[in-house]
Amino acid sequence: MPIGTFAGKAKRVRIYVAEGQLYRHQPLAVAILALLRKEGAAGATVFRGIEGFGSSGDLHTARLVDINQRLPLVIDWIDTPEQCERLLPQVKEMVQHGLITVDDTEVALFSPHPVRDVAAALRAVDVMSRDVVSVARGSSVRQVVELLVGKRYRAIPVQDDGKPVGIITNSDLVKRAGLTIRVDLLASLDTEEQRAELEKLARGGKTAEAVMTPDPVTVNQSTLLTQVAELMVLRHMKRLPVVDDRGALVGMISRVDLLRTAAQTFEAPRAEQRETGLAVDAPVSKSMRRDVPTVFLDSRLPEVVQAVVSTRLNRCLVVDGERRVKGKVTDAEVLERVTPALRPSALRSLMLRLPFVRPRPDETLAEKHASARTAADLMVETAVAREDTPLREAIAAMLAGEHKIVAVVDAEDRLVGCLDRADILRGLLDLQAGA
């Protein structure tokens, strides 16, 4: 929900911790506030208690002047349900000892300052993720994959003496490490299937250095966002390590960081907008692609898989007979919701981009009894925007549901195209779509 229009139903998250708790050498409460602020949370406040006790039974009080104070702290965070759902997993990972509660609440008034305190010209350091997970050259490939499974990030830098010497992406793990399924799809497998894949990697004995892409492209922390975006577009990159003037790794910046910043910065009145150089008011029709993989509601599984693998999007849109958008199907939905007997063939098609054809006799029988046999059974919600919608609104719709594509429709709500994150980034740079 845009800053400045936040009112009505909301969530209140309360995080109970203690003074002295650290997260990566930083006070935990400070680290949590920094994360929430960077990710565009509506607001949070830290309250310091004067007395209390937790699960340990130890009494923490300001009256005991003879001992080091470890007073209770409460971080009160109120935000939209979507923001809380998106950010809460990261907060939970940071809180090793404490309590987190979530309640429904009603916002009667929220009238913040229209523009956050950012530099006139935004730079990489203003929006990058500082909480970077990295590995050493000798780390095992299995360790790398375990750090990636189920996480929002899809690449890990390899460090040597604090400086990035390589980066490991999904593609590196499939091409060089022998991973038979992309990391983002591993979470779609059951526990035993995941364990078998990890054990196979462990038997291979490869290290991070053996599979990484060496000498990664980096950006300095003072690089302007327009320059970061242009580098990503021209080099077809989704994320970049950020370094300081000494070449030491200080953060990571992704396409999502750029898109979120563009959406939030331009929610302010035009007279108070800060400079980013990004064309957020351009209509989506300038950037959209028209070669959209689509299927109908009653399309069968083989046809759906073929549409999903037909482009780099790894997903297709589901339309009715008049081309009105009903949802989307991604490769993850295919793996998660088909019957287990069909999963090997589905996985083979998704990874090799081959048609889902000639199933074995047992798979043919399984398909007849599968609960998810058509696009209607597999589809989930997708973001939709009109073709005259400004890019900033399309970005907001994409980020609100963590969608990777936005369906573009005409005035009669008929599908005319779609945008993915790369398309939007090109559009923000005011480059011709498809360049």
What's the pLDDT score for residue 272? 43
The model's pLDDT over 186-240, given as tens digits with 9 standing for 90+, comes to 877 778 878 888 898 888 899 999 999 999 999 999 998 888 988 888 888 889 9
What's the pLDDT score for residue 302? 78
What's the pLDDT score for residue 55? 55
Task: Place domain 124-259 in its CATH homologous superfamily.
Answer: CBS-domain (3.10.580.10)
The answer on pLDDT for 395 being more than 60 is yes
**Distances, alpha carbon 409 to alpha carbons 3, 388, 424, in Å:** 26, 9, 16
The answer on pLDDT for 23 being more than 90 is no
Whether the model clears a pTM of 0.85, i.e. scores above it, the answer is no
Contact yes or no for 115/268 (Cβ under 8 A)? yes
What's the pLDDT score for residue 7? 60
Burial class (CB in 10 A: 0-12, 13-18, 19+), 339: middle
**Direct distance between the N- and C-terminal alpha carbons of the chain, in angstroms, rounded to an integer:** 32
Q: Which residue has the higher pLDDT, 98 or 276?
A: 98
Average pLDDT in the 343-370 region?
51
The answer on pLDDT for 361 being more than 90 is no
The answer on pLDDT for 418 being more than 90 is yes
The model's pLDDT over 3-14, given as tens digits with 9 standing for 90+, comes to 344 567 889 999
What's the pLDDT score for residue 235? 86
What's the pLDDT score for residue 400? 81
Cα 409 from Cα 363, distance rounded (Å): 37
The answer on pLDDT for 119 being more than 60 is no
Average pLDDT in the 292-307 region?
88
Q: How far is CA 13 from the centre of its chain?
A: 21
What's the pLDDT score for residue 271? 43
Cα 286 from Cα 284, distance rounded (Å): 5
CATH number of 8-107, picked from 3.40.50.300, 1.10.3720.10, 3.30.70.120, 2.40.50.140? 3.30.70.120
The model's pLDDT over 260-272, given as tens digits with 9 standing for 90+, comes to 887 765 444 444 4
Q: Which fold has domain 285-428?
A: CBS-domain (3.10.580)
| Mean of per-residue pLDDT scores for the chain | 80
Cα 173 from Cα 165, distance rounded (Å): 17
Contact yes or no for 124/148 (Cβ under 8 A)? no
**Region of poorest pLDDT, from 44-58, 264-278, 294-308:** 264-278
In the chain, what percentage of residues exceed pLDDT 90? 35
What's the pLDDT score for residue 349? 59
Segments making up each domain of the chain, as ranges: 8-107, 124-259, 285-428
What's the pLDDT score for residue 337? 58
- Name the DSSP class of 341: G
Contact yes or no for 241/157 (Cβ under 8 A)? yes
User: Are 8-107 and 285-428 equal in CATH topology?
Assistant: no
**DSSP 3-state assignment of 229?**
helix
pLDDT band at 72 (very low <50, low <70, confident <90, very high): confident
The answer on pLDDT for 291 being more than 80 is yes
Q: Which residue has the higher pLDDT, 301 or 418?
A: 418
Element (H, E) at 367: helix 361-369
Average pLDDT in the 368-393 region?
83
Residue with token string 């898109």 = 259
Cα 341 from Cα 363, distance rounded (Å): 6
The token pair at 134 is 């990295």
Dihedral sign, Cα of residue 244, residue 250, residue 253, residue 258:
negative
The token pair at 167 is 């980066």
Average pLDDT in the 242-249 region?
95
The answer on pLDDT for 82 being more than 70 is yes
Helix extents (H) in 76-224: 81-94, 124-127, 141-148, 170-175, 183-186, 191-204, 208-211
What's the pLDDT score for residue 115? 37
Cα 407 from Cα 381, distance rounded (Å): 11
Q: 276 — phi, psi (to 5°)?
A: -130, -20
Residues 6+ apart with CB under 8 A from 388: 283, 284, 285
What's the pLDDT score for residue 212? 96
Cα 259 from Cα 229, distance rounded (Å): 10
The token pair at 87 is 């950010």
For residue 256, count other CB atoms closer than 10 A to its CB: 20
The answer on pLDDT for 404 being more than 70 is yes
In the chain, what percentage of residues exceed pLDDT 70? 78
Average pLDDT in the 390-397 region?
88
The model's pLDDT over 136-189, given as tens digits with 9 standing for 90+, comes to 999 999 999 999 887 877 899 999 999 999 999 988 998 898 888 788 778 777
Q: Which residue has the higher pLDDT, 111 or 158?
A: 158
- Name the DSSP class of 338: S
What's the pLDDT score for residue 3? 36
